Structure 1
Amino acid sequence: MSIKAIILVGGETTGTRFRPLSMDVPKALFPIAGKPIVSHIIDSLLELVDSGLEEVYLLGYFKDTKPFDKYIEEMKGHYPELRLKYLSEPYSMGTGGGLFHFREEIFDNVNYNKVIVIHGDIVCSYPFKSMYEFFEKSQANMVVLGIDPILLLNNYQNHTQVQNRSSFKIYENNKVLSNYGTIIANKSNNRVVHYVEKPSSSISELRLESSYYTLVNGGVYIFDKTLLEFLVKAQQQREKEINYWSPQFFDADDNFSANNSSKLSLELDVLKTLPEANSTFLTFKSNSFWYQLKTPVSALLTNNFFLEKELQKKCSTALAPSSMNIIPPVKIGRNTILHSKGYKIGPNVSIGDHVSIGNGVRLKNCIIADNTIIGDHSYISGAIISTNVIVGKWCRIEGTFDSPTITRDITKIGTDGYFKLINNISVLCQNNIVKDQVVVYNSIVLPHKELKQDIKNELIM
């Protein structure tokens, strides 16, 4: 029996909240703790090689496929146990449409009867092995990772994410369910009895029944081949709807029908129907860390999490050893030059390849990407520095993401459920130049800019 894994990496029409970082590279390939988030996922998937995992697909919609083609080529040597391939959708097809479109490749052989599907922006401990063992033992048709929303509300993950245990807060109390798919499952057998996408009810309303779990959809699924049957049914239903409505509202030559008939939502068109179907649909309940990479701020938090995770490993060689100049966890890339006089780096710092760090530099809570130069005596904290950036001497690049800077103005709460983090991170996009003695405070600078004077709480376009 063999397994295939599909990582949903989004597309050009998604991930807009991750801008401006996604202007440089697709979100799934953005370097966090020394490597793209998809590499963190694949590293954890290696636990399933002994169980039969042989192929991993990256599935998404990007007109320019070169970044993924380059990534696949570079990773061949890193993952000799796996066959990696990027599947490019002809247009944005939704979380289920791509699975249907490439069904012949994904379900090409009778030996491949298990499929793991992972949303590529999910950050967690990736319990693939224990989840798969649960799937096999229970003889389920489908299993979804379920996260206790109370853990999100209690903000438990930030105890290891944010240095100095700040009061940084992410989710609005009691309304976290309205931002995610919600699973209602029987506690006695983990069977899903109801699935609803972004319900209007609060947690307190849904947790009154003690016989059932109320969980957040964790974005990790294991399916057997019955998934194909449900995708076919969903596609047929979508075509019926399009054929019924489009003649009344669209011209005969309008391409609306052609594109939208194949646009399927895995959550709305498949998962929502499973509790009523004649199949075993279960949830795997997890109380471990779970997070979603959505914004530049979340990239810093994700960086901290992966660094902490690596730090907790015994005999890890991936991080720089602690010293007078290094406060762990710190990740330093290849061919990086650290000048010898008085620098101090850490905690929670990731430095890419071919970076030059000057004398007397102070770095903490930041991501420094490849081919960057940091001049003597500069200070960088709460910031993301993208590729090919030059920071001069005695500069200060600072964000305050690890402080309680979240607005309490109710109008500033976004539809994605995150408090809008106002002016609390600094981002320098690729090919920026910061002249000597310039201060960048809680500001975003788009690519190819030269800063000659201080900026504070600004967006430089």
Structure 2
Amino acid sequence: MKIIIPMAGRGSRLRPHTLTIPKPLLPVAGKPIVQRIVEDLAEALSEPVEEVAFIIGDFGKAAEEQLRGIAAGIGAKASIYTQDEPLGPGHAVLCAKPSLSGNCIVAFADTLFKANFAFDPSEDGIIWVQRVEDPSSFGVVKTNEANVITEFVEKSPTFVSDMAIVGLYYFRDGDRLRDTLQHIVEEDIRDKGEYQLTTALELLKNGGVQFRPSLIEEWLDCGNKDNVVATNRRMLQLKDGKEALVADSVMVENAVIIPPCYIGENTVIRNSVVGPHVSLGHNSTVEQSVISDAVIQNETQIRHANISKAMLGNFVSFEGEPAAVSIGDYSEHK
């Protein structure tokens, strides 16, 4: 099995955090978003993952090495591909052309999921979906009585179906997906100005490939600050008791940690209350503060503060009044 992860988007709705870190590498409950996707899929699959192909932008060597480490963590080979132009999700997947063969899962690194990922790999294809109240902003599927998908529709202004595609797909024949995407690009077949993956799905369906939908339990968005904070809260709830969330090296002096929280290595908490639902990165210091419902990255200093529903980056110094802030790396607030 191969996992293909398109993640070249700029993450502009999450600025300033994505000015220094690609969105899929932002931490949620102590781990990068993309790492959680890879690990959750690898744990659920009935066969080993041999390769993880990441399609990235100009992320730099440090980010590439981090991605290689994520693949190595599940015993898989890492392949790194670059999407130089934002030409659509179908084009992004095709950027991993050398890796598109055999059984493949395509997982876009925009969201996290709570789902039963078990499936029969002999199926032609599986499209994971969730029912939504307003499907106009999503690609959706229609099915027949046999629960086979009959139509893929990209962001229709009129109602077609409430089963939204969440960005997770299984293909038994990755070679055929590759050739179909290549045909779309060579023939310049665009929808809404871009090369869409749903166009390939429709062509594959018309060529005899049978896709079935699989409903997910929860769809956890990471598109903006408030959504990342909410997703962090939910992931901490789900992982509490299943992962070691507070490092042994954390120093707590006259302070209280209200679980669930993730607290990184060598972090110091003095005269403070931290939690619930806080992710606090390594080598950070919290003094005389109250923090809840927040995502705080590494090497950050917080003093005399009351913080909730906030995101703070790496190497931040924060001191001040109650706030629901979003502060990027290397910033100071007093």
* TM-score, structure 2 normalization: 0.88
Most deviating of 46-55 and 31-40: 46-55
Deviations 1:107-151 (A, max 9, x none): 3xxxxx2000001012211533x1xx2x33xx32111002122xx
Q: For the Cα contact (< 8 Å) 2:135–2:164, is it kept in 1?
A: yes
Matched, 1:310 2:304: no
In structure 2, what is the equivalent of residue 127 of structure 1? Answer: 116
In structure 2, what is the equivalent of residue 451 of structure 1? Answer: none
What is the correspondence of 1:178-189 to structure 2 with a 5 Å cutoff?
Answer: 178-186=136-144, 188-189=145-146
In structure 1, what is the equivalent of residue 251 of structure 2? Answer: none
Most deviating of 32-41 and 193-202: 193-202
In structure 2, distance between residues paired with 1:327 and 1:87: 42
What is the correspondence of 1:156-171 to structure 2 with a 5 Å cutoff?
Answer: none
In structure 2, what is the equivalent of residue 347 of structure 1? Answer: 276
Note closer, same or farther for the CA distance 1:325–1:67 as it changes in structure 2 (3 Å cut): same
In structure 2, distance between residues paired with 1:265 and 1:309: 33
Deviations 1:227-264 (A, max 9, x none): 4334434433543448xxxxxxxxxxxxxxxxx9xx73
In structure 2, distance between residues paired with 1:147 and 1:123: 13
Matched, 1:26 2:22: yes
In structure 1, what is the equivalent of residue 52 of structure 2? Answer: 56
In structure 1, what is the equivalent of residue 163 of structure 2? Answer: 215
Note closer, same or farther for the CA distance 1:285–1:75 as it changes in structure 2 (3 Å cut): closer
Matched, 1:199 2:156: yes
Amino acid at match of 1:121: D
Q: For the Cα contact (< 8 Å) 1:190–1:284, is it kept in 2?
A: no
In structure 1, what is the equivalent of residue 269 of structure 2? Answer: 338
How well do the aligned residues superpose, as a CA RMSD in angstroms? 2.7
Unaligned runs of 5+ in 2: 249-253
In structure 1, distance between residues paired with 2:178 and 2:219: 27
Q: For the Cα contact (< 8 Å) 1:49–1:81, is it kept in 2?
A: no
Larger Rg over CA atoms:
1
In structure 2, distance between residues paired with 1:101 and 1:356: 42
Note closer, same or farther for the CA distance 1:239–1:72 as it changes in structure 2 (3 Å cut): closer
In structure 2, distance between residues paired with 1:222 and 1:76: 19
In structure 2, what is the equivalent of residue 256 of structure 1? Answer: none
Give SS of 2:201's match. Answer: helix
Q: For the Cα contact (< 8 Å) 1:387–1:429, is it kept in 2?
A: yes
In structure 2, what is the equivalent of residue 367 of structure 1? Answer: 295
Shift of 1:89: 2.6
In structure 1, what is the equivalent of residue 124 of structure 2? Answer: 141
In structure 2, what is the equivalent of residue 431 of structure 1? Answer: 330
Q: For the Cα contact (< 8 Å) 2:51–2:71, is it kept in 1?
A: no
- In the alignment, which of 76, 79, 90 is matched to residue 82 of structure 1? 76
Q: For the Cα contact (< 8 Å) 2:83–2:92, is it kept in 1?
A: yes
In structure 1, distance between residues paired with 2:221 and 2:268: 33
In structure 2, distance between residues paired with 1:35 and 1:194: 36
In structure 2, what is the equivalent of residue 398 of structure 1? Answer: 323
Deviations 1:297-346 (A, max 9, x none): 111111111111112x45x432479x97121111100110122x3x1111
Give SS of 2:7's match. Answer: strand
Q: For the Cα contact (< 8 Å) 1:25–1:67, is it kept in 2?
A: no
In structure 1, distance between residues paired with 2:289 and 2:255: 14
In structure 2, distance between residues paired with 1:384 and 1:114: 38
What is the correspondence of 1:215-234 to structure 2 with a 5 Å cutoff?
Answer: 215-225=163-173, 227-234=174-181
Give SS of 1:301's match. Answer: helix
- In the alignment, which of 193, 197, 200 is matched to residue 270 of structure 1? 200
In structure 1, what is the equivalent of residue 99 of structure 2? Answer: 105
In structure 2, distance between residues paired with 1:351 and 1:23: 20
Q: For the Cα contact (< 8 Å) 1:345–1:364, is it kept in 2?
A: yes
In structure 1, distance between residues paired with 2:137 and 2:185: 25
Deviations 1:345-387 (A, max 9, x none): 11110000110111x3111111111011112x32111211111
In structure 2, what is the equivalent of residue 384 of structure 1? Answer: 311
In structure 2, distance between residues paired with 1:5 and 1:126: 17
Deviations 1:366-424 (A, max 9, x none): 1111011112x3211121111111123xx22412xxxxxxxxxxxxxxxxxxxxxxxxx
In structure 2, what is the equivalent of residue 281 of structure 1? Answer: 211
- Structure with bigger helix share is 1
In structure 2, distance between residues paired with 1:378 and 1:391: 7
Give SS of 1:96's match. Answer: helix
Give SS of 2:283's match. Answer: coil
Note closer, same or farther for the CA distance 1:355–1:143 as it changes in structure 2 (3 Å cut): same
Instruction: State, as a whole percentage, how many aligned pairs show the same letter.
Output: 23
Amino acid at match of 1:69: E
Q: For the Cα contact (< 8 Å) 2:6–2:109, is it kept in 1?
A: yes
- Structure with bigger strand share is 2
Shift of 1:72: 2.8
Q: For the Cα contact (< 8 Å) 1:334–1:354, is it kept in 2?
A: yes
Give SS of 1:382's match. Answer: strand
Shift of 1:19: 1.9
* TM-score, structure 1 normalization: 0.65
Q: After the TM superposition, which parts of structure 1 deviate over 4 Å for at least 4 consecutive aligned residues?
A: none
